[in-house]
Amino acid sequence: VYANPIYKHKSASRTLGTLLVIQDVTDIRKLETMRKDFVSNVTHELNTPLTSIRGFVDTLKHGAISDEKIANRFLDIIDIETERLSLLIQDILSLSAIESTDQDKRVDEYDIKEIIDEVLDILEPKIKKKNIEIINDINQGLTYRCNRDRIKQLFINLLDNAIKYTEKGQVGITCSRDEQGLKIDIWDTGIGIEEEHIPRLFERFYRVDKGRSRNMGGTGLGLSIVKHIVELYKGRIDVVSRVGEGSRFVIFLPYGEVNE
C-alpha cells in the first residue's frame, strides 16, 4: 500500500487539500513478478537447446565430422534440439496471441467429432509409436460455435499429453451437451499425477518431471495454453488423477453469444 501525499490543483496557487491514494499493489507486484519469471524461464528454455546445438556444431567443426557414425549421431541431436526450439517458439506465440485477445470470435458452428478426428490424424504418428488404444466415443452432430483453430488447439494439447504420458493403455474422449454448454472428457490410463502437483499444472513451464517432459518433446506450456483457451470461452477445467492409474481432464465450455 502506498500514499500519494499532496495534491495541488493546477489552476490554484494554493494547496486545496490532501488527497490520500490508497491502492493495493499486491496484484500489480504479483503480475510484475510473474512477467519477470516468465521472461527468465523463456530465456532459460531457449538457451538450453541453443547451447546444445552450438556445442555439437563446434565439436563437428573440430574434427568429429570426419567420423560418419559420430557425425550422424550429432546431426540427429541437432535436429531434435532445433525441433524443440521450434515447438517452444510456436507455443510462446500461441500463448501471447491468446493473452492479447479478451474474447474469441465465435465464427461458426463446428462439429466436435470432425475436429477430434482431425486431431487424432495429426497425432497418429505418435500413437503408432506406442501401445495405445484410442477410445473415441464422440457422436457426429455435437456442434459448438467457436473459433475452430482455437478449440482444435485445446484438443491437440490435451490429447498430446494423454498420449505422451501413457506408454501402454488407453486414451479416451467423450463429449456431451446440456442447455448450458459442452462437456468434454479426455482421459488416459497413463502414469498419472501426484495430488500435490495438480494445483500447479496450469502454470507456465510447470512440469512434474522436467527431464521426462523434455524427452517427450514437451515445452511445459501446453496446459497453460489450455487454461487460457478455456478462460477465453468462460469455461472450466477440472483434473482428476491417480499415480499409476491415469488422468482425466474434464472441460466445460458454455455456449456464447454470436459475435462476428
- Residues near ligand ADP (CB under 6 A) are 161-162, 165, 188, 190-191, 193, 201, 206-209, 213, 218-224, 247
Contact 52, 80 (CB under 8 A): no
Q: Is 108 or 209 the residue whose CB approaches ligand ADP more closely? A: 209
> 93 CB contacts (<8 Å, ≥6 apart)?
none
Least distance to ligand ADP from the beta carbon of 113, Å? 21
Distance CA 74, CA 58 (A): 11
- Judged by CB, which is closer to ligand ADP: 49, or 222? 222
- Would you say 153 or 213 has its CB closer to ligand ADP? 213
Instruction: State the cell numbers at 7.
Output: 495534491
Pull the grid cell for residue 195. Answer: 495430488
Separation CA 260–CA 249 (nearest Å): 30
CB 146, CB 169: distance < 8 Å: no
How far apart CA 122 and CA 160 sit, in angstroms, is 10
Name the minimum Å distance from CB 180 to ligand ADP: 26
**Shortest Å distance, C-beta 22 to ligand ADP:** 38
CB of 10 to ligand ADP, least distance (A): 51
Q: Which is nearer to ligand ADP, 43 or 90 (CB)?
A: 90
**Residue 37 or 209 having the CB closest to ligand ADP:** 209
Q: Which residues contact 165 (CB under 8 A, 6 or more apart)?
A: 188, 190, 191, 216, 247
Q: In degrees, to the nearest 5, what angle opens at C-alpha 127 toward C-alphas 123 and 128? A: 120
Nearest distance from C-beta of residue 91 to ligand ADP, angstroms? 8
Residue 205 or 252 having the CB closest to ligand ADP = 205
Least separation in angstroms between residue 145's CB and ligand ADP is 26
- DSSP assignment, residue 23? B
Q: Which is nearer to ligand ADP, 146 or 159 (CB)?
A: 159
Distance CA(131)–CA(244), nearest Å, equals 16
Q: Give me the least distance between CB of 198 and ligand ADP, in Å please.
A: 9
How many helices (H) and strands (E) would you count in the chain?
6, 9
